[in-house]
Amino acid sequence: MSKNMLVFNIAKFNPSKNTKIGTGAKFSHKVCRGTLKDNPKTWISKEMPDPVKAKIELLSQEFFRLLIPHQPETLIARNSVTGTYYILSEEVIGYRNLPKGEAHNFANGRYHGLGQITVGALYLQEIDLKNGNIGLDEQNKAIKIDGDWCFAESRFRGRYKLTPLAIAQLPYPSKDNYTFNWLEVVKENVYQAKSSIIAPTLANSTQFRAEANEALLKISLIPNRYLAHFVDKYMPAGGSYYLNLLQARRDELTMSACQNPSFSAYLKTPAARLEAVNFLHYLKEFKAAGSPIIPQEEHARLELDFKILRDKLIPTVPAKATNASRHRDSVSELHAKCQQLLTQIKMHAHPKDRLLQQYIRLFELNLKCKSHNINELYQLQTDIKPILAIINSPEVAAVKKTIQTLRISAGFFTLHKNNKANQIEDALFNTPLEARSKIISSTKINAVQEALASHRHLGKRGTIYKTTDRDIDESKAARSFKDLKALFKNTPECIDYKPTLASESRQKI
């Protein structure tokens, strides 16, 4: 066994007295909850009689974590006596199946992360994307587990093409890709009339596309050398097949993604530039079983390789902004202006607003990295102004005012006003930044509108009345919803700038 691959001795795994694992899955392997010596996490151990499948699951699940930082860590262990392998998956608090009949909640900000997972599943040839292998955690983030059916082309005949159609149809599978189970669109190789988990409209959802675009960008930016180190960490022997496949499919995915209008538009936004900076930092810090994928001395080479891929994808600053002689600001003046704008944003940043806090961290990192480049500082200044406009928008201010009013007026007999205020606030903080400025006037139902429309009185508590088309029934909605809808009734439902930020704010920096 190569020293590059850390295989734990299963004897170091200490089974827990509480063996119940409430994932809702029907287990096809022996599973057990427990801990590892000198490791604070709780792990789910899964016996893997086939060592090849064990290594495939390790490689695929860790790639999902590379793509989506909130994904659980995966380790591999072995019984030194029997030779049996085990997959150890970090326990996900509150893990549950994807709910049925709630497709709209993947589009309105209540549930998030499905876009990244479906892109990752498409790229890794996952053919068993079903409840039991995908679910939600306690924060309503989508979680992918059980990846032993990834890299399917070596075991299952079929098409596995990363075409523009395959990307455009996500989260639905396309004719270009074989699937055995996929979000109840396909069940045991049979296409269904409809899915109880997702809906066709999700493919064009702002939130879903933002998530998918982020994942497409990340995969496209992983250099060959980094992929080689990554595969070698998990498969030091026999990994060349998987490395070649990952590299070839990355190129194929990038080519097709660039033909997608949504992705092409995303590449021109500040969000794409900020995400690239953030992802490079994450690649440097990513560890396999506590060991960095690449050593410190190779960071400079990674930066060079990464820059080559980034410059091919993301447009550079427009010519009118690159000529320093065309504006009078010095580097120090521009830096001060950027810092001033950032300070204004921080004044509006609630500690629980994870998306805005994520933007702040990304911007601070970008400002630090580009503090001596006048052209890039000019671009940063241009990028941050619309963000400030969004969080200061009249609709956001009105929602915050409603939250404040509910809390101030809450008394002994109206304690549920606080509960409703918390629900509205949570929904607002989970709404992508680009969607907030039209959070009320938008004709698309979102979690904020639902929280406003919900009733708090005894007998109706939590009720949201819907029409037969699943729209909010305004005539039966709570007064807070009616008042805000009336206030912004004539507001045009459009914004000029859409900084499609990642919808996940998990330990990125």
Q: Give the pLDDT confidence of 134-155 residue by residue, as tens digits.
A: 999 998 999 999 999 999 998 9
User: Mean pLDDT over residues 255-280, rounded?
Assistant: 91
Same domain, 286 and 435: no
What value, to the nearest 5°, has the Cα angle with vertex 295 and ends 294 and 299? 80
User: Mean pLDDT over residues 16-32, rounded?
Assistant: 67
Q: Which of 313, 334, 366 is a domain's end point?
A: 313
Same domain, 65 and 166: yes
Same domain, 400 and 445: yes
Same domain, 377 and 480: no
- Dig out the tokens for 426 from the structure: 């949570």
**What is the average pLDDT value for the chain, to the nearest integer?**
86
Sorted by sequence, the CB contacts under 8 Å of residue 254 that are 6+ apart come out as: 216, 219, 220, 313
User: Does the pLDDT at position 77 exceed 80?
Assistant: yes
**pTM exceeding 0.75:** no
Enclosing domain of residue 49 = 8-313
Residue 243 within a domain:
yes
| Inter-residue long-range contacts of 246-254, CB under 8 Å, 24+ positions, other chains counted | 246/63, 249/123, 249/162, 250/123, 250/219, 250/220, 250/222, 252/161, 252/162, 253/122, 253/123, 253/162, 253/167, 253/216, 253/219, 253/220, 254/216, 254/219, 254/220, 254/313
What value, to the nearest 5°, has the Cα angle with vertex 41 and ends 38 and 45? 100
CA 488/CA 402 separation, integer angstroms: 14
Q: Give the pLDDT confidence of 209-241 residue by residue, as tens digits.
A: 999 999 999 999 999 999 999 999 999 888 999
- Dig out the tokens for 493 from the structure: 């439902």
Residue 1 within a domain:
no
Contact 278, 363 (CB under 8 A): no
Q: Give the pLDDT confidence of 457-495 residue by residue, as tens digits.
A: 665 666 888 887 778 888 899 899 999 998 888 765 543
Q: Which of 388, 412, 435 is a domain's end point?
A: 388
Residue 405 within a domain:
yes
Same domain, 41 and 61: yes
CA 354/CA 348 separation, integer angstroms: 12
Residue 505 within a domain:
no
Q: Which of 434, 408, 439 is nearest to 421 (CA)?
A: 408
Note the pLDDT of residue 319.
40
419 by Cβ neighbours in 10 Å (0-12 / 13-18 / 19+) ranks as: middle
Note the pLDDT of residue 497.
38
Same domain, 236 and 347: no
pLDDT category, 413, cuts 50, 70, 90?
low
Q: Which of 345, 361, 388 is a domain's end point?
A: 388
In total, how many domains does the chain have?
Answer: 3
User: Does the pLDDT at position 192 exceed 90?
Assistant: yes
Same domain, 47 and 139: yes
Q: Which of 445, 470, 472 is nearest to 110 (CA)?
A: 445
User: Does the pLDDT at position 324 exceed 60?
Assistant: no
Q: Is 256 helix (H, G, I), strand (E, B) or coil?
A: helix
Same domain, 289 and 154: yes
Residue 133 within a domain:
yes
Same domain, 361 and 212: no
Q: Give the pLDDT confidence of 78-94 residue by residue, as tens digits.
A: 999 999 999 999 999 99
User: Does the pLDDT at position 25 exceed 70?
Assistant: no
381 forms beta bridges with none
What number of residues does the chain have? 509
Same domain, 138 and 267: yes
